[in-house]
Structure 1
Amino acid sequence: MFPVLVDLFGIKIYTYGVLVATGALIAYFLSLRFAKREGLNTSHIENALLLALLLGVIGGRLAYVIEHPEQMRNFIDAFAIWNGGMDFFGGLLGGVLGAILAIMWYKLPVWKVSDIAVLSLTIAHAVGRLGCTSAGCCYGQLFPVQGVSTPGIHLSNRFPFFYIVFPEGAVAPPYTPLYPTQLMEFAGLVLIFVVLLSAYRKKPFDGFVFSLYMLLYGLLRFFLEFYRGVTPPIPGLGLTWNQVVSLFMIVLSPVLMFLLRGNRKAQTV
């Protein structure tokens, strides 16, 4: 709703960038706190975070550019993250690659780090979705209401019981009632974080929180894709590629839980 946070003498500070940076800082401090609890070397975790963040940003923006070439009017636009944002699954893939490289280099315990990573990622992702709301990226489909064009958040008697209208200058179509997919995902991610944090405190084995994240976020994203207006369905399938990835996460989650649980039992025998 407010793409530019500060405009001072022609120097613009974008709300999207500030919120994404805030989410990254929260993830950083949470990761260090959990790393200490797990008895891990915090310096190694710091370096792993930096590499995962760097490759995550590169992967997220690259995937967005590939997915939305019509928005790239020139070479510079490909690097303007505040113009359209990033693709989450592209960022996730890049971040996972960075984390794997760091885990291999420092010989870190894979599943302990994975549990820590998804906790931090979930809350950072939630804050990032507030950034998406400010910029208007990742916007939803048309909301079924007539005669409303005033920018803001409006209540409704239809699910999800509110909708959003963006002003001129946002990535989303201006003065058009849209499903508030950014805020819907924010709420879902906050709920997932609470569930994961509770599970982390009593996790039966390393990797449990990571597996649970794949299930919960896969379900959330699969559902939200029906309301998002930025990713067209795959021809002949009726699902977006994000939904295909979400289904993969949902199916893989119980399989991974079963394998990790069995491995833990084997080690304790």
Structure 2
Amino acid sequence: MFPVLIELFGIKIYTYGVLVATGALLAYFLSLKLAKKEGLNASHIENTLLLALAFGIIGGRLSYVIEHPEQIKGFVDVIAIWNGGMDFFGGLFGGVLGVIVGIVRYKLPVWKVGDIAALSLTIAHAVGRLGCTSAGCCYGLPFPVQGVSTPGIHLTTKFPFFYMVFPEGAVAPPYMPLYPTQLMEFIGLILIFFLLLLAYRKKPFDGFVFSLYMILYGILRFFLEFYRGVTPPIPGIGLTWNQIVSILMVVLSPVLMLLLPKGKKAQPV
């Protein structure tokens, strides 16, 4: 709702960038804390996290540019992430690639790192969705209400019991009531984070938290896609490609849960 957080001497500090950076810092400190509890080398985890962050930003932005070519007028628009615009699944795949590079480079235990990454990613993603709210990207479909054009968050008796109207200058269509998909996802991610945190403390085996994350976020994202207005359904299928990925996440998670306990049991955390 406030794309520019502050402007000093003609220099604009964008809210989106500040919140995304805040999410990344929270993920960074949480990863180091959990790595210490797991008995892992903190510097190796730190370097792996930086690799994941770099690959994730590149993957997320490239996917967004490919998905929304109408917003790209020149090279500056390709790299202008401070204005908002990151595709989560593109960022996820890029981040996973960065993590794999770190795991191979430092010979880290795969599923311990996976559990740490699931928690860190969830909190970073949640704060990042607040950034999306500020910029107006990842906006929802038109909300079924008439006669409201005042920018802000408005309460209603219809699910999800509030909607948003963005001002001029946001990525979202201005002065139009929209489903608050950014805040809906933020709320869902915060709930997932605390569920994962509880599971992490008593995880039965390494990789359990990562598998649980895939199930929970896959379900959340699948249903949110029905309210998002930025990704059109695939012709003939009626589902978006994000929903296809979500289905794969949910289907593969139980398989991991069945296979992983056959390995070494996790130590109490």
TM bin (shorter chain): over 0.9
Residue equivalent to 1:13? 13
Distance 2:88 2:61 in 1: 9
**C-alpha distance in 2 between matches for 1:46 and 1:263:** 26
Q: Please say which of residues 186-195 and 81-90 is displaced more in the overlay.
A: 81-90
Equivalent pairs: percent with the same residue?
A: 81
Q: How does 1:114-263 map to 2 (within 5 A)?
A: 114-263=114-263
Q: Tell me whether 1:83 sits opposite 2:88 in the alignment.
A: no
- Provide the secondary structure at the position in 1 that maps to 2:163: strand
- Write the distance in 2 (CA, Å) between the matches of 1:263 and 1:38: 17
Secondary structure of the residue aligned to 2:228 is coil
Separation in 2, partners of 1:127, 1:226: 22
2:112: which partner in 1? 112
Task: Output the CA distance in 2 between the equivalents of 1:3 and 1:146.
Answer: 25
User: Residue 59 of structure 1 corresponds to which residue in structure 2?
Assistant: 59
Contact 2:84 2:131 in 1 (8 A): no
TM (norm. structure 2) is 0.97
Deviation of 1:43 (Å): 0.3
Using the size of structure 1 for normalisation, the TM-score is: 0.97
Question: Is 1:40 the equivalent of 2:40?
Answer: yes
- Unaligned 5+ residue runs, structure 2? none
SS at match of 2:164: strand
Quick one: which amino acid aligns to residue 96 of structure 1?
V
Task: Measure, in 2, the Cα distance between the counterparts of 1:83 and 1:72.
Answer: 12
C-alpha distance in 2 between matches for 1:196 and 1:2: 31
Q: CA deviation at 1:263?
A: 2.9
The count of corresponding residues between Structure 1 and Structure 2 is 265
Query: What is the rounded CA distance, in whole Å, between the counterparts of 2:77 and 2:261 in structure 1?
Result: 46
Offset, 1:76: 1.0
Structure 2 distance, partners of 1:73, 1:82, is 16
**Secondary structure, aligned partner of 2:36:** helix
Deviations 1:171-191 (A, max 9, x none): 000000000000000000000
Q: What SS does the corresponding residue of 1:168 show, helix, strand or coil?
A: coil
Runs of 4+ that moved beyond 2 A: 262-265
Between the aligned partners of 1:63 and 1:157, the Cα distance in structure 2 is 36
What SS is found at the alignment partner of 1:217?
helix
RMSD (Å), alpha carbons? 0.7
Query: 2-side partners of 1:195 and 1:8: how far apart?
Result: 41
Partner secondary structure for residue 82 of structure 1: helix
The amino acid across from 1:190 in the alignment is I
How many angstroms apart in 1 are the aligned matches of 2:253 and 2:109? 19
C-alpha separation in 2, matches of 1:262 and 1:107: 21
CA distance in 1, matches of 2:229, 2:238: 14
AA partner of residue 219 (structure 1): I
Q: Distance in 2 between matches of 1:146 and 1:245?
A: 35
